[in-house]
């Protein structure tokens, strides 16, 4: 029996989870490997004997469609989606049944009209939503890109035809034709026929193409020359050459041929793919770097082919080869620009299309548009099945009873059964007919108007969201939009939120907030309040936006763009530019009055004076900021100011801050760094000798430079990195400075700021020479090169001197910390899925309140090093959740009471990392009240998700944590994580993002929310709701979501209730009509039951009911638990309302029936007619149902009063008019009923009595609940009613404590909030406050890396830069070549002689403005 139930449940689940889109979506198998031919014909084996191209050699178009329907598929797909509703199938069956004469009630055509109206209105709504998607798709597909055309250019590669949609209609398709690249005049017909002065045509200027310039020609004869023609994205084909300009998005996956930069490097912004804001460097394919003009690309001499592997969703892998002149050159991801990225800081790039449309990696990582249904709608189906089962039982009972009665009465000679002995009229056949007719009589048990009412209510709820000014973004004139109208109630049941980081939680912008120099904190001037900052932000971004598209920026670096053309010679170089403008991604300049005064005193300081030490510290600190980076400089030809071009906004903010205080980085001349400082009138020159790259493992970056100065030729090591790695490499001594800086770092981290620690070292010449030899050997080693380089770097990065620390704010979206804190209080678990690296993800987690100060961070990494992912998860459960029972479920035998970290024999012991500071971790990590946050990277997810056993373990481990951060994840992994939680736990999920990399996650979640950010509209186009700011999510869920769910849930159960009361009255009447399925009252009353009499009260609930007011829901996020716990709509509430309806139908029928039949109400003594007393029953039932619906409404407003009583009024008017219609108009059964009905005392006395008796149980329960067992909602409603002016947020038992967020607070207030940590002078108070704070909070934000077993302390460190990128490799190559060539040259004699003398100098980098000799000290 159990197996049978299990089989039925499995069958039902299969039917319920059936996806209609699977029938209409083309399931393309894995694409075949491809070869792209350029300037040569396709091989003959690419065609069949008839000359038609083979299917595997036809590439998809670049058209990308996110819509669901086309003109052809709209009708069948939409009907299938609607008939997933069991009720619609039932209504169709009943309508078809009434087309047979035996079961006809009224005209069969009229019977089916309600169903057609329901289907039609829903189809119109769905069609409107999809038209909006088509319009969004059209906006993307009709973007333009420059494509090679003209001359003899022909693209021989064959692409398929574009899809036809709502927008273009049905157009006949033509088969692709074979193209001959050798055919004369084979150029683009469109390009050849284009008239002159066509703005879509651009020619290369032969003498300036190397500089990346272009202009227009108007000569007719030149239209046939090779040129660049602006073409729609959807018309781009595989094998096309494209030219992409600076700041333009990439239309498809493009192989780079050449760029405007030195060594053909291109910089791209990949935040649409991986969420990272730092720029990535890509380089051109070495075999194609000579294709720099349209003429070169179109020349038949330049023929080649490109072999590519099959299309792959792996965002980090691409394999191919270019074959040219018989030689092969490799193609990998480093030479490809992916669709979804944006070209930055590069004048132009020419490339060839490899993958288009559905074959591009970003589209492969996004799924098709799903057909989402709300949970409430899915829950209605089982309830409809229950009602259908009740209906079936009622029909069977009527059929059997009628058959038995006829058999008995026929034998007794009943005259009304005369002749019932023929084949088509006998008791058995009549029983079957009665059964079928009973289905029609009691069909209202499943109301057809329910679904149309739900659609109407949800549409109005979408409008309520649209017109809510609180979630309207005035800056962009953007309201919150519901793109899918049928998911409003799901917003009130969310249990898990999956959020992107970049652009969703952050603004992709940095602010240099504070710094600690030699133990003194500089906070920045507080007079710039939020309004002033917004003005600065708006102005600066406008300037950047206007000028960044100009490819004539003057580069002051050999690593930057090429030299300008002759007409740009008036633009100054960076060495003499007068100003420094805000860099892209930096919101404001840094200014501190105290710092300015200190610098002014430092400049005038004499050696040996009390200000000399501070002068050295200031000079050294900002010199490190201005020199230790990979930033490029450019001059804006409009403003004639320097603008820094950085690979990440972090570096831009650091260099910008140094420039703001006077340390201006003036660019590079090969390996010579140019720096202007307040301490020198001339530009200082530094020779860059080595770059010790930043990696996530090293957590630091260092450079070795030589000061090119006649007086000072010393060697310096400049380092910046995490405090944990810098502090352990510091020189002994200076404990006071270390402790003070450590205290400042904790304050910065507690404010949610990113921290960076700076240090330096003077390197003796002889020590450097020996180290340089070892470094050269390590970099040229064939075995274990990385380990050897790391060991050698570690040698030189010792005995450092601490300079200070910086604090940068990754500007959050407004209200993000508060919103996340409230959502967590509401019981919603928040997971962050980002493509950023681990440190960045943790830093954002802290600043957004996702990681609390007391949180224990568990890190699980993938990769070949360390323990396996499965072992790490087992170890984490063993160490932190030994009593959870997870290991028992997975068959892992362990001692739950034994901590593996404390057992030296444990195979994976955890160890604590000594940072050179006070040990602040302790052995009780994981046993504190802060809870746990799991951080897992994409590599680990790649190992865990494919295996069901590992995925189950990961899910159980993650559910033990209060938050999860997934870093370094691909778009497809984001969707897999969402599905893992949604399917594994059966919970309601919401995904929110703003970029194309979030589309798959948005589509996989139950509710997808897109943010209209700076990353385009891809996320919005695929979302169910579009908002402008993350903070709007709070009201969208806590108010609109909660209201919608409560309204819809209460409305639906009241819908079932009001119909079961009517069906109950009809059912009791069957006892007295021989179970013949006859109607108790006139059929018109039954026909209009759901249309006029009782529809308004339930619509009033769905539209105007409020469980509590909006401000109460916002002030008390805990109330959201009513939605998470599915309070407002469940099988329990359904059963209660159904039973209540049945109970109420008893007095409504029997009291009125026996009152009328006991003594006739007529004055003439005649007995009554059926409709005389049944009409009284109709009045009593309608009034009782309407009042009960009103009783179930929480807030009575004018609209609710109107909704409750309008049906009753309409019933009165209808009855009076209907009973007065004479047979001369049309025949009715109730003509003249007014004469008997309204004169009867029973009509006026029975309804009040029966209504009071029927509603008494419900009323007594509500009264008892309010008086003796009130819940939170009842108490809050009572308080609001009795004290409307009271601010209910003051009633909270405890305040919501938000972590201070620099993005939402003024600097002055933040200083006052922590006076002990904001001391401006180094004093003993700093140490005292640090000790007190540590006593109060001895362990703060500890983290455990399960891969290595290391436990450490996190103080907000984060630094974003490209690891191992092309730009860094190029700089390293130049340095390596220079070292190699200089190994045979003798060093400069003055530097050799000067270095030993300068070794003991107190000065850092430059002399303070004076001529006398510096004072020597032994300890330097």
The answer to whether 474 and 615 are in contact (CB under 8 A) is no
Of the candidates 443, 540, 501, the one whose C-alpha atom is nearest the C-alpha of residue 91 is: 443
The CA-to-CA distance between both ends of the chain, in Å, stands at 87
**Alpha-carbon gap, residue 390 to 403, rounded angstroms:** 20
**Alpha-carbon gap, residue 651 to 839, rounded angstroms:** 15
Residue 1097: count of CB within 10 angstroms of its CB: 30
Q: Residues 1264, 1267, 1268, 1270: is their CA dihedral positive or negative?
A: positive
Q: Which residues contact residue 737 at a Cβ distance below 8 angstroms, ignoring those fewer than 6 apart?
A: 518, 519, 802
**Alpha-carbon gap, residue 697 to 1359, rounded angstroms:** 12
Q: Which residues contact residue 728 at a Cβ distance below 8 angstroms, ignoring those fewer than 6 apart?
A: 914, 915, 916
Please spell the DSSP secondary structure of 883-923, one letter per residue.
Answer: TS-HHHHTT----TTS-GGG-TT-SS--EEPP-SS-----T
Q: Tokens standing for 58?
A: 């036809």
Please spell the DSSP secondary structure of 587-631, one letter per residue.
Answer: ------HHHHHHHHHHHTPPTTSTTHHHHHHHHHHHHHHHHSS--
Describe the chain by its helix, strand, coil percentages, rounded to 5.
45, 15, 40
The answer to whether 426 and 93 are in contact (CB under 8 A) is no
Which residue matches tokens 């450079």? Answer: 703
Q: Tokens standing for 322?
A: 């270019």
Q: Residues 818, 823, 827, 833: is their CA dihedral positive or negative?
A: negative
Q: Tokens standing for 50?
A: 């008839």
Residue 500 falls in the annotated catalytic set: yes
The values of phi and psi at residue 580, to 5°, are -125, 120
The answer to whether 564 and 210 are in contact (CB under 8 A) is no
Q: Residues 285, 289, 292, 297: is their CA dihedral positive or negative?
A: negative
Of the candidates 226, 223, 356, the one whose C-alpha atom is nearest the C-alpha of residue 296 is: 226
Of the candidates 585, 586, 580, 591, the one whose C-alpha atom is nearest the C-alpha of residue 528 is: 591
Please count the CA atoms within 13 angstroms of the CA of 519 that sit on its side-chain side: 16
**Alpha-carbon gap, residue 678 to 642, rounded angstroms:** 18
The residue from 274, 500, 879, 1358 that is catalytic is 500
Torsion angle, alpha carbons of 1314, 1320, 1324, 1326, to 10:
40
**Alpha-carbon gap, residue 860 to 1213, rounded angstroms:** 72
Q: Tokens standing for 1337?
A: 């909070």
1358-1396 burial string, b = 16+ CB within 10 Å, else e? bbbbbeebbbbebbeebbeeebeeeeeeeeeeebeebbe
The answer to whether 1356 and 755 are in contact (CB under 8 A) is yes
Please count the CA atoms within 13 angstroms of the CA of 249 that sit on its side-chain side: 21
SS3 1115: helix
Of the candidates 27, 46, 39, 241, the one whose C-alpha atom is nearest the C-alpha of residue 158 is: 46
Q: Which residues contact residue 698 at a Cβ distance below 8 angstroms, ignoring those fewer than 6 apart?
A: 692, 721, 725, 790, 793
Q: What is the DSSP letter of 40?
A: S
Q: Which residues contact residue 177 at a Cβ distance below 8 angstroms, ignoring those fewer than 6 apart?
A: none
Residues catalogued as catalytic: 500
């Amino acid at each position: 029996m159990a197996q049978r139930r299990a089989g039925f449940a499995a069958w039902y689940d299969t039917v319920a989870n059936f996806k209609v889109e699977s029938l209409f979506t083309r399931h393309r198998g894995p694409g075949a490997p491809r070869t792209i031919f350029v300037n040569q014909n396709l091989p003959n084996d690419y065609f069949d004997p008839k000359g038609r191209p083979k299917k595997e050699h036809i590439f998809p178009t670049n058209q990308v469609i996110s819509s669901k329907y086309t003109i052809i598929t709209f009708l069948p797909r939409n009907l299938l989606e609607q008939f997933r509703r069991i009720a619609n199938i039932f209504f169709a069956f009943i309508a078809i049944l009434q087309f047979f004469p035996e079961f006809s009630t009224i005209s069969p055509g009229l019977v089916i009209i309600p169903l057609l109206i329901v289907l039609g209105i829903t189809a119109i709504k769905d069609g409107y939503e999809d038209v909006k998607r088509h319009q969004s798709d059209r906006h993307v597909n009709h973007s333009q890109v420059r494509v090679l055309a003209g001359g003899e250019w022909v693209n021989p590669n064959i692409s398929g035809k574009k899809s036809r949609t709502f927008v273009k209609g049905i157009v006949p398709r033509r088969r692709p034709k074979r193209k001959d690249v050798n055919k004369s005049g084979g150029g683009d017909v469109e390009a050849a026929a284009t008239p002159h002065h066509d703005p879509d045509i651009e020619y290369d200027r032969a003498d300036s193409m190397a500089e990346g310039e272009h202009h227009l020609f108007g000569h007719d004869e030149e239209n046939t020359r090779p040129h660049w023609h602006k073409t729609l994205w959807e018309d781009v084909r595989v094998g096309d050459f494209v030219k992409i300009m600076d700041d333009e998005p990439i239309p498809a996956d493009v192989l780079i041929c050449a760029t405007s930069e030195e060594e053909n490097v291109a910089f791209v912004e990949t935040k649409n793919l991986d969420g990272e804001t730092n720029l990535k460097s890509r380089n051109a394919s070495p075999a194609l770097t000579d294709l720099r003009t349209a003429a070169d690309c179109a020349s038949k001499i330049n023929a080649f082919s490109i072999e590519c592997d099959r299309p792959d969703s792996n965002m980090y892998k691409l394999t191919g080869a270019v074959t040219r002149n018989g030689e092969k050159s490799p193609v990998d991801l480093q030479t490809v620009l992916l669709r979804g990225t944006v070209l930055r800081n590069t004048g132009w790039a020419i490339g060839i299309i490899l993958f288009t449309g559905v074959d591009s990696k970003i589209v492969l990582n996004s799924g098709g548009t799903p057909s989402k249904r709300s949970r409430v709608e899915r829950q209605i189906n089982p309830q409809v099945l229950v009602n259908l089962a009740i209906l079936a039982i009622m029909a069977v009972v009527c059929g059997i009873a009628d058959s038995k009665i006829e058999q008995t009465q026929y034998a007794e000679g009943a005259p009304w059964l005369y002749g019932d002995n023929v084949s088509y009229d006998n008791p058995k056949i009549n029983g079957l007919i009665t059964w079928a007719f009973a289905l029609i009589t009691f069909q209202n048990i499943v109301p057809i108007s329910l679904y149309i009412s739900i659609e109407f209510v949800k549409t109005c709820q979408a409008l309520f969201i649209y017109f809510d000014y609180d979630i309207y973004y005035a800056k962009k004139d953007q309201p919150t939009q519901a793109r899918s109208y049928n998911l409003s109630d799901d917003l009130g049941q969310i249990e898990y939120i999956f959020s992107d980081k970049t652009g969703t939680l952050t603004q992709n912008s940095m602010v240099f907030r504070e710094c600690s120099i030699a133990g003194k904190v500089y906070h920045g001037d507080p007079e710039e309040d939020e309004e002033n900052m917004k003005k600065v932000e708006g102005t600066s971004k406008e300037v950047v936006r206007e000028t960044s598209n100009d490819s004539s920026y003057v580069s002051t670096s050999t690593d930057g763009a090429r030299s300008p053309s002759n007409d740009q010679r008036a633009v100054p170089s960076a060495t003499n530019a007068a100003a420094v403008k805000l860099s892209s991604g930096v919101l404001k300049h840094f200014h501190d009055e105290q710092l300015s005064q200190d610098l002014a005193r430092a400049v005038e300081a004499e050696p040996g004076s009390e200000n000399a030490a501070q002068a050295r510290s200031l000079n050294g600190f900002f010199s490190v900021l201005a020199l230790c980076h990979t930033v490029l400089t450019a001059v804006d030809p409009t403003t004639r100011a320097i603008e820094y071009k950085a690979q990440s906004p972090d570096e831009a903010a650091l260099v910008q801050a140094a420039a703001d205080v006077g340390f201006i980085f003036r660019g590079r001349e090969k390996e010579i760094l140019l720096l202007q400082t307040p301490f020198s009138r001339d530009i200082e020159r530094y020779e860059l000798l080595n770059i010790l790259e930043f990696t996530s493992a090293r957590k630091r970056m260092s450079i070795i430079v030589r000061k090119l100065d006649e007086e000072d030729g010393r060697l310096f090591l400049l380092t910046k990195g995490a405090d944990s790695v810098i502090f352990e490499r510091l020189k002994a001594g200076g404990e006071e400075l270390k402790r003070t800086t450590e205290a400042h770092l904790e304050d910065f981290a507690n404010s949610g700021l990113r921290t960076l620690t700076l240090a330096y070292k003077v390197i003796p010449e002889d020590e450097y020479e020996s180290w340089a030899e070892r470094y050269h050997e390590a970099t040229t080693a064939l075995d274990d090169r990385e380990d050897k380089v790391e060991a050698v770097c570690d040698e030189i990065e010792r005995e450092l001197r601490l300079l200070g620390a910086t604090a940068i704010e990754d500007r959050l979206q407004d209200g993000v910390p508060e919103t996340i804190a409230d959502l967590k209080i509401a019981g919603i678990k928040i997971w962050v899925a980002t493509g950023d690296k681990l440190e960045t993800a943790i830093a954002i987690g802290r600043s957004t309140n996702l990681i609390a100060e007391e949180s224990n961070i568990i890190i699980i990494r993938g990769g070949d090093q360390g323990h396996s992912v499965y072992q790490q998860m087992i170890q984490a459960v063993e160490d932190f959740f030994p009593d959870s029972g997870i290991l028992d479920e997975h068959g892992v035998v362990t001692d739950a009471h034994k901590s593996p970290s404390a057992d030296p024999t444990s195979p994976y012991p955890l160890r604590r990392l000594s940072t050179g500071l006070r040990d602040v971790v302790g052995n009780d990590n994981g046993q504190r009240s802060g809870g746990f946050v799991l951080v897992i990277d994409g590599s680990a997810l790649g190992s865990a998700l494919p295996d069901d056993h590992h995925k189950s373990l990961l899910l159980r481990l993650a559910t033990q944590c209060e938050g999860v951060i997934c870093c370094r994840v691909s778009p497809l992994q984001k969707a897999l994580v969402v599905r893992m939680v949604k399917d594994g736990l059966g919970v309601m999920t919401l995904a929110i993002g703003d970029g194309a990399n979030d589309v798959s996650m948005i589509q996989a979640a139950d509710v997808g929310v897109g943010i209209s950010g700076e990353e385009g509209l891809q996320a919005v186009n695929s979302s169910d709701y579009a908002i402008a700011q993350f903070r709007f999510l709070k009201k969208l869920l806590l108010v609109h979501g909660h209201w919608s769910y409560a309204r819809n849930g209460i409305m639906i159960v009241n819908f079932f209730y009001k119909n079961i009361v009517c069906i109950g009255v009809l059912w009791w009447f069957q006892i007295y009509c021989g179970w013949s399925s006859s109607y108790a009252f006139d059929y018109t009353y039954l026909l209009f039951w759901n249309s006029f009499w009782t529809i308004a009260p339930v619509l009033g609930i769905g539209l105007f009911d409020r469980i509590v007011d909006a401000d109460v829901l916002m002030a008390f996020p805990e109330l959201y638990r009513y939605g998470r716990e599915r309070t407002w709509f469940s099988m329990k509430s359904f059963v209660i309302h159904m039973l209540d309806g049945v109970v109420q139908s008893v007095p409504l029928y029997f009291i009125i029936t026996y009152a009328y039949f006991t003594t006739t109400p007529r004055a003439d003594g005649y007995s009554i007619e059926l409709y005389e007393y049944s009409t009284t029953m109709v009045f009593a039932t309608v009034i009782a149902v309407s009042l009960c619906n009103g009783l179930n409404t929480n807030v009575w407003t004018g609209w609710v009063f109107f909704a409750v009583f309008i049906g009753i009024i309409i019933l009165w008017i209808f009855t009076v008019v209907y009973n007065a219609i004479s047979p001369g108009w049309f025949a009715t059964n109730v003509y003249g009923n007014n004469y008997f009905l309204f004169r009867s005392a029973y009509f006026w006395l029975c309804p009040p009595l029966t209504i009071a008796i029927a509603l008494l149980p419900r009323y007594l329960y509500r009264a008892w609940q309010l008086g003796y067992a009130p819940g939170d909602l009842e108490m809050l409603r009572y308080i609001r009613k009795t004290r409307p002016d009271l601010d209910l947020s003051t009633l909270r038992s405890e305040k919501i404590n938000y972590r201070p967020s620099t993005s939402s607070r003024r600097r002055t207030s933040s200083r006052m909030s922590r006076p002990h940590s904001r001391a401006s002078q180094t004093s003993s108070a700093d140490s005292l406050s640090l000790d007190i704070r540590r006593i109060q909070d001895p362990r703060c934000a500890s983290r455990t890396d399960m891969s290595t077993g290391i436990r450490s302390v996190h103080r907000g460190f984060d630094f974003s830069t490209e690891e191992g990128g092309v730009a860094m490799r190029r700089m390293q190559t130049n340095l390596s070549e220079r070292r190699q060539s200089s190994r045979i040259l003798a060093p400069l004699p003055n530097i050799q002689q000067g270095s030993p003398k300068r070794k003991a100098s107190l000065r850092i980098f430059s002399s303070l403005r004076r001529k006398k000799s510096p004072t020597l000290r032994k300890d330097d």
